[in-house]
């Protein structure tokens, strides 16, 4: 159920790879067409469903988007939420929303990925021997 073209998926995956290159953190995108209910609750459900809570340092970030319902949310695991500024997720969502309103889902997602990666790098820098714990591919939910 691809909601993005192959080129767009590659751009998003490359943004995730670039963001994770300098951090031990993990970033994932979960996408679906429709969101029944609150997008933050939906994101939290998928966060656990796809194992985002299983990272060694509890520093995973999930960006959830429902493309046709125009809903999205960002959720971080315990490790990242304990150290980031209180308004970080709100400001990241606002930056993403500017791109979404301009008609670019991909640039909005890449903005969220980049901002999350920068914050992860600040608090969870790359550690020698770090392995990519989670796939960088978009997780299409149903």
Buried b (16+ CB within 10 A) or exposed e, 65-90: bbbeeebbbbbbbebbeeebeeebbe
Each residue's pLDDT expressed in tens, for the chain with a length of 142 residues: 568 899 999 999 999 999 998 898 899 999 999 998 999 999 999 999 988 898 888 999 999 999 999 999 999 999 999 999 989 999 999 999 999 999 999 999 999 999 999 999 999 998 776 676 676 678 887 6
User: Which domain covers residue 73, as residue numbers?
Assistant: 6-127+134-140
Could you tell me if residue 79 is inside a domain?
yes
Q: Is 77 part of a structural domain of the chain?
A: yes
State if pTM tops 0.85. Answer: yes
CA 10 from chain centre, in angstroms, equals 15
Asked whether residue 56 is domain-assigned, the answer is: yes
**57: in domain:** yes
How many domains would you assign to the chain? 1
- Residue 1 resides in a domain: no
- Residue 53, number of CB atoms within 10 A of its CB: 14
Whether residue 90 is contained in a domain is answered as: yes
Q: 108: domain CATH number? A: 3.10.310.50
């Amino acid at each position: 159920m691809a909601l993005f073209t192959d080129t767009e998926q590659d751009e998003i995956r490359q943004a995730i790879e670039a963001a994770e290159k300098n951090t031990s953190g993990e970033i994932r995108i979960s996408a679906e067409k429709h969101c029944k209910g609150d997008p933050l609750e939906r994101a939290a459900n998928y966060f656990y469903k796809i194992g985002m809570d299983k990272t060694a340092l509890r520093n995973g970030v999930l960006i959830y988007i429902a493309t046709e319902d125009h809903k999205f949310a960002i959720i971080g695991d315990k490790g990242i939420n304990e150290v980031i500024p209180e308004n970080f997720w709100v400001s990241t969502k606002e930056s993403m929303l500017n791109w979404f309103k301009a008609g670019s889902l991909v640039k909005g997602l890449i903005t969220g990925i980049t901002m999350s990666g920068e914050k992860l790098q600040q608090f969870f820098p790359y550690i020698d021997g770090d392995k990519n714990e989670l796939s960088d591919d978009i997780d299409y939910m149903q």
